[in-house]
Amino acid sequence: MKPVYWEEAARTLIDRDPVLRALIERFPGVTLRSRGDAFSTLARAIVGQQISVKAADSVWQRFLTVAGVVAPRSVVERTVIELQRAGLSARKAAYLQDLARHFLDGTVNPGHWSGLDDDALIAELTRVRGIGRWTAEMFLIFHLQRPNILPVADLGLRKAVSLYYNRGRPISVRRLQSLGRTWAPWRTVATWYLWRSLDPVPVEY
């Protein structure tokens, strides 16, 4: 389902930023969409860490075959060696099992997330092994569809901003944060369209 704020956000960004105006007009009718539940979304984000989208999709499909059902109990019941057969590193396999245990024991509790602001929720998620700030931000964007996330460490976002705002030269974190302030409170939407400019097939977690 399309986020309820999407149309308002797009109109605001069109008015504020000529680069985003061109991108939004270039990709009509395509928006951020969430799929899966909280556990599978976080698991998919862990699988996708530090590898290309294409490679992540390949590993994920093999992981589905090994796990059978992407659920905490199913992952905990698999050995690290079994999970490695999907193409996962031993470290990522351990991360997935740690994530599953946090869901099973209630340490990670989706029931109270709606009452947490972005920073508080990121802080909770990053207590889990293997979930750094980038993974938590991907979760807030793709699963919870929080509207104002700016993942400054994301390589795709940095590449797009460098291309469109800095003549292809590397962009500093400070400059990216400055741009982000002009996009608030719709930084997620700006990020999504900048991603689209590099890959017209929408990424989903």
Examine residue 166 and state whether it is found in any structural domain, yes or no.
yes
- Same domain for 67 and 117? yes
Examine residue 64 and state whether it is found in any structural domain, yes or no.
yes
- Same domain for 162 and 86? no
- Same domain for 70 and 124? yes
Last residue of a domain, one of 123, 142, 161: 142
Helices (H), 126-186: 133-142, 155-165, 173-183
- Same domain for 25 and 42? no
Give the C-alpha separation, 93 to 63, whole Å.
10
Per-residue DSSP letter, 32: -
- Same domain for 137 and 44? yes
Positive/negative CA dihedral, 133, 175, 25, 196: negative
In order of 33, 69, 83, 171, 203, the CA distances from 141 in angstroms are: 9, 24, 27, 22, 11
Domain span at residue 161? 6-33+149-198
- The structure tokens listed for 194 are 């900048």
The residue among 186, 144, 159 whose CA lies nearest residue 1 is 144
What's the confidence (pLDDT) of residue 191?
Answer: 97
- Same domain for 123 and 53? yes
What's the confidence (pLDDT) of residue 56?
Answer: 87
Q: Tally the domains of the chain.
A: 2
Examine residue 1 and state whether it is found in any structural domain, yes or no.
no
Give the C-alpha separation, 144 to 114, whole Å.
9
Q: Where residue 157 sits, what CATH number does that domain have?
A: 1.10.1670.40
Q: Where residue 108 sits, what CATH number does that domain have?
A: 1.10.340.30
What's the confidence (pLDDT) of residue 195?
Answer: 94
Per-residue DSSP letter, 61: H
Give the C-alpha separation, 97 to 44, whole Å.
13
Last residue of a domain, one of 101, 118, 142: 142
Residue 85: how many CB atoms within 10 A of its CB? 14
What's the confidence (pLDDT) of residue 203?
Answer: 63
- Same domain for 46 and 128? yes
Last residue of a domain, one of 115, 142, 169: 142
Q: Name the stretches of the chain with pLDDT < 70.
A: 201-205
Examine residue 203 and state whether it is found in any structural domain, yes or no.
no
